[in-house]
Structure 1
Amino acid sequence: MMRFADVAGRLAGLSGWLLGWRPDEFWRATPLELAAVLTAARGEDAPDVGVDGGELVRLMGVMPD
């Protein structure tokens, strides 16, 4: 079982790296807002908002900074 702190820390790191969000922006966002932005970043309308290894490599190529 994953702990909330572990999942929140991972999502905060991803949102900072992929979206450029500062910690306060991450914590003010609702789960629905975060899911919508991550779904849009994937270029899909899929309900699953997780990022797998292949998708992470693609995003790194699209957003190298």
Structure 2
Amino acid sequence: MAGFDWPALMRAGLHGLRLKPCEFWALTPAELAMMLGQSKGVAPMSRGQLDQLLAAYPDQEGKRDD
């Protein structure tokens, strides 16, 4: 995949952060970036935003997705 320096990311994760390979590969790019100190990202959802989301998409009694 273009745009990722995989050897450098793997060195940072496996050597620098001392992650096990399964832990490294289970991370999302955003999680790895945060662990490496690159905290630029999306602000967490506020309580008001969560309430709006819950109002727009309420749980339906008895409905299961599985």
TM range (shorter): 0.3 to 0.5
Q: TM-score scaled to structure 1, two decimals? A: 0.47
Name the structure where helix makes up a greater proportion of residues.
Answer: 1
Select the structure of larger CA radius of gyration.
Answer: 2
With CA pairs under 8 Å and 6+ residues apart, which has the higher RCO, 1 or 2? Answer: 1
